[in-house]
Amino acid sequence: MSGFWMESLLAENPEAGWNLAVKLSRMGVKATQPSDEVRGRLRAIYAEDADSLIASSHVVAVNFQTVAAANNYWR
């Protein structure tokens, strides 16, 4: 994985923060499994697995906590 894509954890509002959390999560998967072909093959498996989907939601939630804290919870 190459290229600079994250300038900051600062986000204008909670929705932008959520979008950043999703992006962080997706980039984490891409860093863990850099092969587009393998990720594409695995997607069909985890898309039908409730435990995998819950785990993915958890990763996004943790990333959102991090972004929210970095933004002082938009106070």
pLDDT of residue 5: 85
pLDDT of residue 1: 52
Give the single-character DSSP code of 74.
Answer: G
- Is 2 a residue whose pLDDT tops 70? no
Identify which of 68, 73, 58, 72 has the alpha carbon closest to the alpha carbon of residue 19.
68
- Is 67 a residue whose pLDDT tops 70? yes
Q: Can you tell me the distance from the alpha carbon of 21 to that of 4, in angstroms, rounded to the nearest whole number?
A: 16
Query: Taking the alpha carbons of 8, 12, 17, 22 in that order, is the dihedral positive or negative?
Result: negative
Length of the chain: 75
Percentage, residues of the chain above pLDDT 70:
97
47-60 pLDDT per residue, tens: 999 999 999 999 99
Q: Sketch the domain layout of the chain as residue ranges.
A: 14-74
45-69 CB burial, b ≥16 within 10 A, e <16: eeeeeeeeeeebeebbeebbeebbe
pLDDT of residue 71: 98
